Amino acid sequence: MADDKSVQGAAEKILGLLNPKSGQSAPVLKAEPSVELEDKKSQEVSNDNQSQSDEIVEEAVATENTQEEITEEPTQQEEVEKQNLHRVKVQGQELDVTLDELKSGYSRDSDYRQKTHQLSLERKNLESEKESLRQTYDSRIKELNSAIQSADLLFKEQILKVKRRVYVRLMILELKN
């Protein structure tokens, strides 16, 4: 390692603080009595660097703790979700679903069943109405056929009457001549 008072030594200490190796604690600075002014200035710079590196280390530790908390939370959430999973069988396949998915699926199924039932009732009503209209149509057709037959008979009777009158008049005319 380079001399602790040189720039190289300070840089290595800062790097050591920022990236401590496992099992290595942060280096401890030795306090030496200052004899010269340059030693005081280098110590001030070193102290400034030390306080800055301490702040950086504190931020790094805080960030690591936050990241550890964040990484722990999803695992706790995953554990809770795993506990809340329910096994259901859908079209022959077993699926793991959450309680929310079960609720929404039940709601959809209930809605589907209600609408299907309503459609079947409407279909039955339409079928009965269709049958009623068919019966009405058939009875009207029978009435019309009956009316046509009656009119045809009446027409034939009227034609016979007219023919008889014409025949009688022709006979009278022939007798007179």
Domain end among 83, 115, 135:
83
d(CA 118, CA 167): 73
Co-location of 129 and 60 in the same domain: no
Domain membership flag for residue 1: no
Co-location of 146 and 172 in the same domain: yes
Residue range of the domain that includes 142: 99-177
Domain membership flag for residue 90: no
89-141: per-residue pLDDT in tens? 888 888 888 888 888 888 888 899 999 999 999 999 999 999 999 999 999 99
61-100: per-residue pLDDT in tens? 666 555 555 555 556 666 655 667 888 888 888 888 888 8
Q: What is the pLDDT of residue 61?
A: 60
Domain membership flag for residue 58: yes
Co-location of 22 and 64 in the same domain: yes
Question: At residue 154, does pLDDT exceed 50?
Answer: yes
Co-location of 112 and 156 in the same domain: yes
> Which pTM value belongs to this model?
0.37
